[in-house]
Structure 1
Amino acid sequence: MNIIELENVSKSYGNKLILNQINLIVQPGELIILQGDIGSGKTTLINLILGLKNPDGGTIEVFGNSPNDPKSRLQLGCMLQEATVPYHLKVRELINLIRSYYPHPLSSERIEEFLKITKLKDIEYRLLRDGLSFGEKQHLYFLLSIIGNPDLLILDEPTRGLAEEARQEFLQQVKNFVLEGKTVIFISQNETDEKKLKDLVTRILTLSQGQLQEEKNSRSVEIINTETKLINVQKSSEQLKNQVSQLSSSLKGQLWVELLDLIRNPWLIGLILVISIALPLGFYHNLDQNNNTLQILTWPILIFVAATSPFLIAIQQVAQGIASDRTQGWTKLLRVTPLSPWIYLVSKVITALIVYSLELGLMFGLGIYQGGIQQDFTVWLALFSSLMLGMLVMTLLGCAFGYLFNTKNITIPLLLILGSAVFTSLPLPGMPILLKNLMPFSPFYHYSQLVTWAGKINLNDFMPGITTNQHLDVNLEWLLWTTCVLSFLAIWAYKRDKSFN
């Protein structure tokens, strides 16, 4: 089996043709140096092979699969120019996270050996936001590219900007990888790199005016073919079991990263504490036990604050978080790993639900012990379930918006959604008849109806003329249907993400 096959591949940007009918076959064990002037299309070609971009014409196969198929990334590692890692992680935590994405990663012994050779061992517990030297970053990114024990390694100008000593160390690591019989595509404009790797190079490809020009080296490909083994990716019951175990490992790793982000960037937790503790405490502290009106309002106010909090979490934690990951380049790095898009999004959803459940626990506890609220356990349970279902809907909406918009233009769409939620939640007095008639088609309306039903609130007592519908089944069906639609919308938005352009 060939590692890579490109047949008549073309790519344009506007009216500019970057790649013109490219044909290329990469065999197991090759070391190919890819050269070309700035803007010749080297990075574009690599992005096509990685599935980060789609060709305008032609076909691409990696390990016999489409580049967009996660199976093609099980045996692939790459070191990109424009990718960033989460700065709230430590070096060791990042290594463990990326390692969890692969079914057959490097052994712990080999990772430790690499850390000692490159001196990354000295900084393994340093936060990435505290800063790494350029050489340390390059060594770290190279480790991340080989940590899945890949058969194909793609390096996009990895030695650019390195000091001579660091360059020599880096090239030695590449040599060691090639000598294991692995396939490497090495993009470089540096003649020193070519000279140092000359004995192992099989071909030198030069990209110019949309065409590849090939220069063969003396190293034999036929010998290499007998030395390289490809992992069989055919499905079997054992592989299915391994896939489930792998998905579980990836989810645990990704979820732990999300929780660490909350712990090490506690501003959102602080804001939630203000809403769930400080504001209610202030209200309860000033509550006049002899004022029946305020006593009556404690329960509706608690429900109102609890019901509006999902918007804050969905906007600030989920939508803004995903948009930030895209802008910084973290999701681009994730897209070239075997990590399923479901895992990334599910970890976001679970984290949001955990944060919200903790907030509800604090609010309910304060309402009982400070506000004197007395309700049956079944009422608390129904209210909690209704609010969590609403949180799920808001979180999925935040996931979709985080991928559809970037950090620069996401504010306006989120404000529009927030305004829509405000004006379609309850049929307020004076609303146009048309808007009232359309309101039952809004998930926000069914969310508010479900919450008021669960809290046994009669809206007519507070706003005459407004009633709570009793169609519990319809409200639930609408929210569940919305959850399914938003799930597929979030996945679609993930797959169409073009932030790397």
Structure 2
Amino acid sequence: MQEAILLDGVSKRFGDKTAVDNVTFSIEAGSIVALLGPNGAGKTTVISMMLGLAKPTAGNVRAFGQSPNKRATRKHYGVMLQQVSLPPKLRVRELVNLFRSYYDHPLDTSTLLKMADLEEHEKKEAVKLSGGQQRRLQYALAMAGDPRIVFLDEPTTGMDVTARRSFWENLRAFAQQDGRTIILTTHHLEEADAIADRILLMQNGRITADGTVDEIKLQAGNRYVAFMAGPQVQSDAIAGLPYVAHAQWSGRHVRIRTKRPDDVLRAAILRNLDVSHFEVSQGHLEDAFVSLTEASAAEEGGTNQ
């Protein structure tokens, strides 16, 4: 598989602050990669270097084997940033056509409007669109040049559930075409859970976890037992079960974090607790995210002592 992006020993310092610390990874063409991490982890700086907007202090960044600073490389990029101001007065179709004019081989205007589900709004002034519609327009602008790599920063902010689902279905279809690559950052971890082939987790300027969604969940080392507790079951009875790291109640629904789910279930049954509708899982990506970032922070704190 062709390599779309390569970071080799990349660091970025701003004065005395190290924003990115000796990061190395490659991204295969045709993959969907989610770059995740808490605020200040270094994600934005990494994206800026991949886009050629910032130069690394040390190491190398390559896109299809070339520097991202070159126009020949950037013409294959599509970028959808979180904070974007649309120009006033221009209508939707006019703005799409303006962006198409920047590229040698742009996608057809009608195709872009359809991809963004804006066909009925093409004559509307862009700045008068709703928040979710403006995000979809920004997506159409990012796709105008028929890019080989698309960078998406919080892409579904402002979209309702239906628009969000349609957006991800469209992205999946795009990624299946001719080795197209998608790199996204998002705080909606359920989206990364649903669409990403691979997760890169950053913290304190370093990559702290790298793998598929299932691999990241396994790396976190937690399992989850969920069940419905009868009306007589009290919280102290659940807390008293062996190997319960944390128990979360939602009404009578109980969700337990544990490293030994079989032992938790066995104890609940042997103690004749009124519980039913059992479910055992690796949890959600958000669970793994919290667990791994907490572990990394604890390790960092111990190292600095």
TM class by shorter chain equals: 0.5 to 0.7
Partner of 1:186: 184
Q: Verify: 1:113 aligned to 2:114, yes or no.
A: yes
Q: Aligned pairs, how many?
A: 212
Give me the identity figure in percent. Answer: 34
Partner of 2:17: 16
CA distance, structure 2, for counterparts of residue 95 and residue 136 of structure 1: 14
What amino acid sits opposite 2:101 in the alignment? S
CA positional deviation for 1:108: 4.1
- Structure 2: runs of 5 or more not aligned: 215-305
Q: SS in structure 2 opposite 1:106?
A: coil
What amino acid sits opposite 1:188 in the alignment? T
CA distance, structure 1, for counterparts of residue 147 and residue 76 of structure 2: 4
CA positional deviation for 1:27: 1.4
Partner of 1:56: 57
Flag the structure with higher strand content. 2
Partner of 2:92: 91
Q: SS in structure 1 opposite 2:62?
A: strand
CA distance, structure 1, for counterparts of residue 202 and residue 213 of structure 2: 21
CA distance, structure 2, for counterparts of residue 191 and residue 202 of structure 1: 13
Select which of 156, 160, 165 maps to 2:162.
Answer: 165
CA distance, structure 2, for counterparts of residue 12 and residue 32 of structure 1: 25
Within a 5 Å distance, the mapping from 1:47-446 to structure 2 comes to 47-114=48-115, 118=117, 120-129=118-127, 131-180=128-177, 181-197=179-195, 201-217=196-212
- Structure 1: runs of 5 or more not aligned: 220-501
What amino acid sits opposite 1:127 in the alignment? E
Question: Is the 8 Å Cα contact of residues 43 and 156 (structure 1) preserved in structure 2?
Answer: no
CA distance, structure 2, for counterparts of residue 137 and residue 103 of structure 1: 25
CA distance, structure 1, for counterparts of residue 110 and residue 79 of structure 2: 22
Task: Please list the CA deviations of residues 91-147 of structure 1 after superposition, one character each: whole Å capped at 9, or x if unmatched.
Answer: 1111001111111211345235325xx1x1222122234x21111011001111112
CA positional deviation for 1:160: 2.8
Question: Is the 8 Å Cα contact of residues 32 and 197 (structure 2) preserved in structure 1?
Answer: yes
Partner of 1:278: none
Distance change (3 Å), C-alpha of 1:8 and 1:215: closer
Question: Is the 8 Å Cα contact of residues 82 and 154 (structure 2) preserved in structure 1?
Answer: yes
Partner of 2:268: none
Flag the structure with higher helix content. 1
Relative to the length of structure 1, the TM-score reads 0.40
Partner of 2:28: 27
CA distance, structure 2, for counterparts of residue 81 and residue 104 of structure 1: 26
What amino acid sits opposite 1:208 in the alignment? Q
CA distance, structure 1, for counterparts of residue 26 and residue 193 of structure 2: 24
Distance change (3 Å), C-alpha of 1:127 and 1:113: closer
Structure ID, larger Rg: 1
Distance change (3 Å), C-alpha of 1:112 and 1:164: closer
What amino acid sits opposite 1:190 in the alignment? H
Distance change (3 Å), C-alpha of 1:109 and 1:85: closer
Q: CA RMSD in A?
A: 1.9
CA distance, structure 2, for counterparts of residue 161 and residue 127 of structure 1: 18
Relative to the length of structure 2, the TM-score reads 0.65
CA positional deviation for 1:154: 0.8
What amino acid sits opposite 1:82 in the alignment? Q
Q: Which has the higher contact order (CA 8 A, sep 6+)?
A: 2
Question: Is the 8 Å Cα contact of residues 40 and 204 (structure 2) preserved in structure 1?
Answer: no
Q: SS in structure 1 opposite 2:78?
A: strand
CA distance, structure 1, for counterparts of residue 161 and residue 213 of structure 2: 27
CA distance, structure 1, for counterparts of residue 192 and residue 39 of structure 2: 18
Task: Please list the CA deviations of residues 458-477 of structure 1 after superposition, one character each: whole Å capped at 9, or x if unmatched.
Answer: xxxxxxxxxxxxxxxxxxxx
Partner of 2:217: none
